Amino acid sequence: MAVSLVGCSKRNVRASAPAPPATGAPATYPEPVPVKPGMPLEQGLASWYGVPFHGRRTASGETYDMHQLTAAHRTLPFGTLVRVTNLRNGRKTEVRINDRGPFIEDRVIDLSLGAARALDMVARGVVPVRLEVIAAPPDVSGYFSVQVGAFLVRDNALRLRQRLETRYQPVFIREWDSPEGLFYRVYVGRVSSGEAARSLAARLRDREQLSSLVIRLEQ
């Protein structure tokens, strides 16, 4: 069975004649607090997204403004502030996490157009970066799951769920309305730690030959 992972994986979209920043009221988050030493530091590839996502709803519920310094990350809580360093040129910027993605395994963050400009990576599209968490909302709790597929055809998602639910619980489907169409994302598991989710993802890759991405579930 062919399984595709779609989402921020297709967000390397070149923006044309950017519009002025949106004037709507910003989303409200708990006041960020300094992160203690030892908080996550991650390296990998960064991509960016602009049109046609500009003006659409993000996973956090706020409207995406590609001119603001924001980003999508698979597991960091919404409202987390992250310092991103472009390892090609040394340029840095700070972004606020307000969306989920990217949905390609070798990428660690999907940046807004504004952040990509700050890092001088718009033309290149994908660059190696280092991430440092510098502040995060206090008292964040939640669950993690593993995304194993995203389909435009609902029956394909149902077949994958049926295949997996005899060996894993829970297996569930969530809809995602993207610019490319309505996708049906298949998730496996609901665990309380990132470590347990990473272990489950490795098991799904090894035993089921599925691309597996650890995702924080929103409450």
Determine how many CB atoms are found less than 10 A away from the CB of residue 9: 18
Cis peptide bond upstream of 170, omega within 30: yes
- Whether the per-residue pLDDT at 16 is higher than 50: the answer is no
Q: What is the pLDDT of residue 139?
A: 82
Q: What is the pLDDT of residue 37?
A: 42
Q: What is the pLDDT of residue 24?
A: 38
Residue 109 structure tokens: 């963050």
Say which DSSP state 64 is in.
P
User: 70-92: per-residue pLDDT in tens?
Assistant: 999 999 999 999 999 999 999 99
- pTM, two decimals, is 0.79
User: 155-175: per-residue pLDDT in tens?
Assistant: 999 999 999 999 999 999 999
- Cβ(7)–Cβ(211) below 8 Å: no
User: 92-102: per-residue pLDDT in tens?
Assistant: 999 999 999 99
User: 28-86: per-residue pLDDT in tens?
Assistant: 333 434 445 445 679 999 999 999 999 999 999 999 999 999 999 999 999 999 999 99
Sheet containing 171-178: give its strands across: 171-178, 181-191, 143-151, 213-217
Residue ranges and CATH numbers for the domains of the chain are: 32-136 (2.40.40.10), 143-217 (3.30.70.1070)
Q: What is the distance between the alpha carbons of residues 166 and 12, in angstroms, rounded to a whole number?
A: 37
Determine how many CB atoms are found less than 10 A away from the CB of residue 155: 9
- Cβ(66)–Cβ(18) below 8 Å: yes
Q: Pseudo-torsion of CA 108, 154, 62, 43, nearest 10°?
A: 0
- Cβ(50)–Cβ(13) below 8 Å: yes
- Cβ(96)–Cβ(77) below 8 Å: no
Give the ranges where 59-153 is alpha helix by DSSP (H).
Answer: 113-118
Q: What is the pLDDT of residue 140?
A: 74
On average, the pLDDT of the chain sits at: 84
What length does the chain have? 219
- Whether the per-residue pLDDT at 152 is higher than 90: the answer is yes
Q: What is the pLDDT of residue 150?
A: 94
